[in-house]
Amino acid sequence: MKTKKQINQELMVIHELFPSNTTELTRETPFQLLIAVVLSAQSTDKQVNKITSMLFQIIKNPQDILELGLDKLKDYIRSIGFFNNKAKNILTLSEQLINDYDGVIPSSLAELVKLAGVGEKTAKVVMHQLYDWQYIAVDTHVHRVANRLWWVDTKLPEQTSKLIESLIYKDNIYLAHHALILFGRYKCKAVRPLCETCPLQKNCIYFNTVMKFKIKKIPLK
């Protein structure tokens, strides 16, 4: 396993490649962000943005969801995975926000995870984006990157989530969040990772034990 210093040095390289600290999910209001993140579970940001480009024309706050109703909400999000459960959760969390929080998105992790359909990862994304909290939301991308670089040796994202924030310097946690997600999404991909152009190639356990034996050099003509 690598030292904390080595991990943070590699993180800085990743951040130089992907310096944005803003989610790729399209939204205008805090409530829209919450809904987009809930919809993104086991779906891509591209799929979510396609749906919300229409939905968010009429949905700005929790009351709008209640007025739209469950059946019409399902019609808007039908093309996304698990749309039935997501629609029910969105309706319920809208009621919770109105009844318990005066329509305002809670500013604590403990309160956010009380909302229907909001797990720890979803809550951390929202806290990071709305309130600039120092969280790293570990999805499959972050889990994959951390294991390939040998920052952790874990089997599940939930296990990685318990470890990773202790490995990142406090001042780096905020910038690490999206840098790691985007690096995993566009560079260190699950299938056909772009190892040949990765600046961390020499430091990567995955490359040095798996990928370098698969990469075939194109003969010079």
Question: Average pLDDT, stretch 61-76?
Answer: 98
| 118: in domain | yes
The pLDDT assigned to 219 comes to 46
Domains contained in the chain, number: 1
Q: Given pLDDT bands bounded at 50, 70 and 90, which one contains residue 216?
A: low
Give the domain extent around 62.
30-131
Confidence check: pLDDT of 143 > 90: yes
Separation of first and last alpha carbons in the chain: 42
| 9: in domain | no
With contact defined as beta carbons under 8 Å apart, do 81 and 64 qualify? no
Q: How many CA atoms lie within 13 A of 21 on its CB side?
A: 15
Spatial CA neighbour of 128 closest among 181, 193, 74 = 181
In sign, the C-alpha dihedral spanning 172, 178, 184, 186 is negative
At 71, which amino acid appears? D
| 162: in domain | no
Q: What is the CATH number of the domain that holds 65?
A: 1.10.340.30
| 156: in domain | no
Predicted TM-score of the model (pTM)? 0.86
Task: For residue 64, indicate whether it is catalytic.
Answer: no
3-state class of 37 per DSSP? helix
Task: For residue 72, indicate whether it is catalytic.
Answer: no
Structure tokens at 214: 């698969």
Structure tokens at 36: 């987009």
The active-site residue out of 86, 124, 139, 187 is: 139
| 83: in domain | yes
Tell me how far CA of residue 172 lies from CA of 5, 8, 165, 168, in angstroms: 12, 8, 10, 6
Spatial CA neighbour of 10 closest among 212, 164, 214 = 164
Spatial CA neighbour of 143 closest among 172, 163, 129 = 163
Spatial CA neighbour of 162 closest among 186, 138, 195, 189 = 138
The active-site residue out of 86, 121, 124, 187 is: 121
Residues 42-64 pLDDT 10s: 899 999 999 999 999 999 999 99
